Homo-oligomer: A and B are copies of this chain.
Amino acid sequence: MPGFHFTLRHTAPGGARLGELRTPRGIVHTPAFMPVGTNATVKALTFDDVRALGAEIVLANTFHLYLRPGVEVIRRAGGLHRFMGWDGPVLTDSGGFQVFSLAKLRRVSDEGVVFRSPLDGGEHAWTPERVMEIQRGLGSDLIMPLDVCLGYPAADADAAEALRITALWAQRSRAVGGAEEQMLFGIVQGGFSAALRAEAADRMVALGFPGYAVGGLSVGEPRALAYALLEAVTARLPADAPRYLMGVGGPPDLLEAAARGVDMFDCVLPTRVARTGTIFTRTGRVNVRNARYRDDHTPPDPDCRCAVCARYTRAYVRHLFHADEMLGPRLATYHNLAFLAALMGEAREAIAADRFEGWRRGVLDAYATSW
């Protein structure tokens, strides 16, 4: 794994961490939010936009890209970076979450998982080894092993069995590895029991990965439970490896998780809600479609310095949404991701200055609307 290195720069009194993940394609300053480009595009944006709004790393989706356009097309294009026009680091998930969300999931065994494509009904057999091979074909930088994902609630017996298979697959994934220039994370599952989460963390640490992801949270469980489980996990992870909380992206959740020592996040929420007109502000979410913004000639978020807030008004963005114009989702998406990039930048400054807890409390107090 040459070219990758995680440096923990500072740990704030409460546990929040300031770090740098060096990769062959650039440095990621953590805590970092990673925009999601499911189909090799962050919906409505170019990767020039993504760079301009302040992101240093993006996600793409192994499951979606495997089904369409297919890994061979991307391999022949020269890899995912060249295919989609982004030269920074890319993290691909394993596709486990998507496979286990399918209604037509056929069969899970120790060997792997057989599923039907939601696009054409075709049957596909994935093993942990195959998923590593797919990600080698994509040429992403940070890669994930196949894992078993559960919804909420889940019985402890089911969670224990999922943990057993996930650990087995992690071991096999680690044995085959990615390409030389890929960094393979271990994924900590374990359902909704702190004991199983702790066991999952211990088993992954015993296998030894250069980075650890926490999966299977933010799937409907109470927030307090998610935070408790997260704490149970991060307490057992080595300090010198980056920690990635999968699928979390609401502004308050990011701060709560960063406070518990998480370094990296991804979520479709900021971009998904943007496409319905919801924009993040420091006082909470605003739906710009609302009639009250018809004649509001102020920026979408008056406290934001992004290119969208510098040029456009709520009245204009509202008009775009009501006229069903693509520029509406585009501008809202740009702003929401710029908002999170700026928020993470402030978090890093606060951690560096040992004032993270006070800063976080101030931000959460101002963020008044429901999460």
Q: Which residues on A are within 8 Å of B, measured CB to CB?
A: 39-41, 43-46, 64, 68-69, 73, 76-78, 83-85, 294-295, 297, 311-313, 315-316, 318-320, 322-323, 325-327, 329-331
Min C-beta distance of A173 to chain B, whole Å: 27
Write out the residue numbers on chain B whose beta carbons fall within 8 Å of the beta carbon of A46. Answer: 327, 330-331
- Cα distance A316–B68 in the bound complex, in angstroms: 11
- Cα distance A104–B297 in the bound complex, in angstroms: 34
Q: A83-B313, A313-B83 are in contact. Are A77 and B297 (CB under 8 A)?
A: yes
Whether the pair A39, B320 counts as a contact (CB closer than 8 A) is yes
- Cα distance A355–B144 in the bound complex, in angstroms: 60
**Which of A39, A326, A329, A330 counts the most B-chain CB atoms under 10 A from its CB?**
A326
Q: A85-B311, A316-B84 are in contact. Are A297 and B78 (CB under 8 A)?
A: yes
Q: Is the interface of A mostly helix, strand, loop or mixed?
A: loop
Q: A43-B325, A319-B39 are in contact. Are A69 and B330 (CB under 8 A)?
A: no
- Cα distance A76–B45 in the bound complex, in angstroms: 30
Whether the pair B315, A83 counts as a contact (CB closer than 8 A) is yes
Whether the pair A294, B326 counts as a contact (CB closer than 8 A) is no
Whether the pair B44, A330 counts as a contact (CB closer than 8 A) is yes
Whether the pair B40, A326 counts as a contact (CB closer than 8 A) is no
Whether the pair A294, B68 counts as a contact (CB closer than 8 A) is no
- Cα distance A313–B69 in the bound complex, in angstroms: 13
- Cα distance A325–B83 in the bound complex, in angstroms: 15
Whether the pair A77, B326 counts as a contact (CB closer than 8 A) is no
Q: A44-B330, A45-B327, A313-B83 are in contact. Are A68 and B319 (CB under 8 A)?
A: yes
Closest 5 CB pairs of A and B: A39-B323, A69-B319, A44-B326, A41-B327, A85-B311
Write out the residue numbers on chain B whose beta carbons fall within 8 Å of the beta carbon of A64. Answer: 323
**Which of A41, A43, A312 counts the most B-chain CB atoms under 10 A from its CB?**
A41
Q: A73-B315, A84-B316 are in contact. Are A41 and B325 (CB under 8 A)?
A: yes
Sample of 5 more A-B contacts, CB < 8 Å, known A40-B319, A41-B323, A326-B330: A69-B315, A73-B315, A83-B313, A85-B311, A85-B312
Whether the pair A69, B325 counts as a contact (CB closer than 8 A) is no
Write out the residue numbers on chain B whose beta carbons fall within 8 Å of the beta carbon of A331. Answer: 46
Min C-beta distance of A44 to chain B, whole Å: 4
Write out the residue numbers on chain B whose beta carbons fall within 8 Å of the beta carbon of A85. Answer: 311-312, 316
Min C-beta distance of A204 to chain B, whole Å: 33
- Cα distance A39–B317 in the bound complex, in angstroms: 12
- Which partner residue on chain B sits nearest A42 by CB separation? B327
Write out the residue numbers on chain B whose beta carbons fall within 8 Å of the beta carbon of A45. Answer: 327
Write out the residue numbers on chain B whose beta carbons fall within 8 Å of the beta carbon of A39. Answer: 319-320, 323, 325
Write out the residue numbers on chain B whose beta carbons fall within 8 Å of the beta carbon of A295. Answer: 73, 76
Min C-beta distance of A317 to chain B, whole Å: 10
- Which partner residue on chain B sits nearest A310 by CB separation? B85
